[in-house]
């Protein structure tokens, strides 16, 4: 390899975690921003939230929520320790007003040039959104989700955001413009001249665009075969992000720093997350519910990746449209964009039990349940106790007890079939048992 050659390996995370950019974040405006920040105190080499909000909201007229989404998303890419993440979560949890929250956010800063590059490479997401209008790319912005046959026939073309070759091609094809953002304004070449003689600091490049290793800190869920259709997926704590893409009739239970849902339908997401769930275009019939399960070592696992129980923003989604448009007021019923999701009704809520034994101290849902959902569980528990009391006071004889138990068992299995919960119970049976059972024979639960 020649001494002055450069090897490029784009990191997947900046492309994967990114969002579709506003038209205000094209190269023209980013060039202006690159010049502006170098002449303002508190903007270079580190860019604080107050200055970025001033640029994004005051000069570029971006919504405040969108400006924070870019800033927060970029911060997710930084190598903060679990302890630092937990300390930040503790500070946020103590904010009791928007003013206090803004004061806390004002303490956050990011590397200016790295952030400029992050904003620039979001153009890849813009291309995906634009071409989705003709059905070539994910995610489609149509109100109705694609049919199963449509999804299956386009699997290879829908995962551009997860295609590292597409990332490399994008970087190579736009390398000159990328370098323009890094060069000092006075050193920019005149029109038609080459950038080859300009000196660029390479210290910012490896941590944003390129990488020498690939950390396993995210989960990508998308339909491959039958994995993400008619399924229940329970995840342990995810350090960075959970992506749900092209899924149908799936229930996902997770603790994650960010949750992103795109091109999916009839999915229920039970989550505990410190950031607002991001709903991309192409979703329909999405239900958001609170995290509702636990296992003994859950809180230890959460601490190991820097996830706390507060803040928990599972019920405050951001809806992303084309051109980076953000809808963040789901209380506006006249807005048709909010028809793609709803919050789980307390009357629909049930707890989820993980039927495995392991070591650990967690004995309840971390952080507890929201009051309406907790009240629902308590009411159901009262009904169970009342039923048990009624049975005891009935003083049934032996034959009556047997008949009663058979009737209850029959009604229970009818409910399992009608509700669709039978498949969840059958899935707990070891494969070696299901493989030797005759097709029409009863399960062990039927005996």
Q: Map out the domains of the chain as residue ranges.
A: 12-134+159-187+200-208, 218-348
Least confident of 74-78, 234-238, 305-309, 435-439: 435-439
Give percent of the chain above pLDDT 90. Answer: 47
Mean pLDDT of 12-18: 77
Tens digit of pLDDT for each residue in 156-171?
Answer: 444 556 677 888 888 8
Mean pLDDT of 225-230: 65
Decide: 100 and 92 in contact? Cβ < 8 Å: no
What is the pLDDT, as a whole number, of residue 152? 44
What is the pLDDT, as a whole number, of residue 391? 85
What value does the mean pLDDT of the chain take?
Answer: 79
Burial class (CB in 10 A: 0-12, 13-18, 19+), 270: buried
What is the pLDDT, as a whole number, of residue 191? 54
What is the pLDDT, as a whole number, of residue 167? 83
Whole-angstrom distance, CA of residue 442 vs CA of residue 440: 7
Q: Which two tokens stand for residue 2?
A: 């020649």
Mean pLDDT of 415-442: 67
The model's pTM: 0.81
Rg for the chain (alpha carbons), in Å? 26
The whole-angstrom distance between residue 114's C-alpha and the CA centroid of its chain comes to 23
| 25 pLDDT above the threshold of 80 | yes
What is the pLDDT, as a whole number, of residue 419? 82
| 50 pLDDT above the threshold of 50 | yes
Tens digit of pLDDT for each residue in 354-374?
Answer: 988 889 999 999 999 999 999
Give percent of the chain above pLDDT 70. Answer: 72
The CATH number assigned to the domain with range 218-348 reads 2.160.20.70
Q: Report residue 328's pLDDT band, with 50, 70 and 90 as the boundaries.
A: low
| 290 pLDDT above the threshold of 90 | yes
Q: Report residue 302's pLDDT band, with 50, 70 and 90 as the boundaries.
A: very high
What is the pLDDT, as a whole number, of residue 172? 85
What is the pLDDT, as a whole number, of residue 273? 97
Tens digit of pLDDT for each residue in 108-155?
Answer: 999 999 999 999 988 877 655 444 433 344 344 443 444 544 444 444
């Amino acid at each position: 390899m020649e001494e002055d050659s450069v090897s490029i390996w784009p990191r997947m995370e900046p492309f994967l975690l990114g969002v579709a950019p506003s038209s205000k974040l094209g190269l023209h405006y980013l060039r202006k921003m690159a010049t502006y920040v170098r002449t303002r105190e508190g903007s270079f080499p580190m860019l604080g939230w107050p200055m970025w909000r001033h640029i994004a909201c005051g000069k570029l007229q971006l919504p405040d929520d969108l400006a924070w989404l870019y800033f927060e998303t970029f911060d997710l890419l930084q190598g903060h320790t679990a302890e630092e993440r937990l300390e930040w979560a503790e500070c946020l949890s103590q904010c009791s007003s928007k003013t206090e929250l803004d004061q806390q956010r004002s303490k956050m800063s990011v590397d200016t040039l790295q952030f400029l590059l992050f904003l620039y490479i979001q153009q890849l997401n813009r291309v995906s959104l634009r071409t989705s209008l003709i059905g070539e790319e994910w995610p489609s912005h149509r109100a109705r989700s694609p049919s199963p046959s449509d999804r299956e026939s386009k699997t290879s073309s829908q995962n551009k955001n997860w295609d590292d070759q597409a990332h490399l091609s994008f970087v190579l094809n736009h390398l000159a413009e990328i370098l323009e953002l890094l060069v000092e304004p006075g050193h920019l070449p005149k029109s038609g001249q080459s950038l080859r003689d300009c000196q660029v600091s390479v210290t910012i490049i490896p941590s944003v665009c390129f990488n020498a290793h690939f950390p396993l800190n995210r989960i990508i869920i998308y339909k491959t075969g039958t994995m993400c259709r008619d399924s229940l997926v329970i995840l342990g704590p995810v350090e960075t992000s959970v992506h749900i893409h092209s899924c149908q009739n799936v229930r996902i239970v997770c603790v994650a720093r960010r949750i992103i849902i795109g091109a999916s339908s009839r999915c229920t997401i039970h989550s505990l997350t410190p950031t607002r769930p991001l709903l991309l275009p192409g979703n329909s019939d999405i239900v958001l519910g609170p995290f509702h399960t636990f296992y003994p070592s859950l809180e230890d696992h959460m601490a190991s990746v820097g996830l706390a129980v507060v803040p928990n923003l599972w019920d405050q989604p951001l809806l992303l449209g084309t051109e980076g448009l953000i809808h963040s007021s789901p209380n506006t019923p006249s807005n048709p964009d909010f028809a793609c999701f709803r919050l789980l009704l307390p009357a629909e809520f049930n707890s989820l039990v993980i039927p495995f034994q392991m070591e650990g101290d967690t004995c309840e849902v971390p952080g507890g349940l929201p009051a309406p959902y907790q009240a629902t569980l308590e009411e159901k528990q009262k009904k169970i106790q009342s039923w048990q009391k009624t049975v005891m006071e009935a003083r049934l004889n032996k034959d009556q007890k047997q008949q009663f138990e058979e009737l209850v068992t029959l009604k229970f299995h009818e409910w399992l079939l009608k509700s669709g919960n039978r498949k969840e119970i059958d899935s707990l049976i070891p494969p070696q048992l299901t493989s030797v059972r005759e097709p029409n024979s009863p399960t062990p639960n039927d005996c």
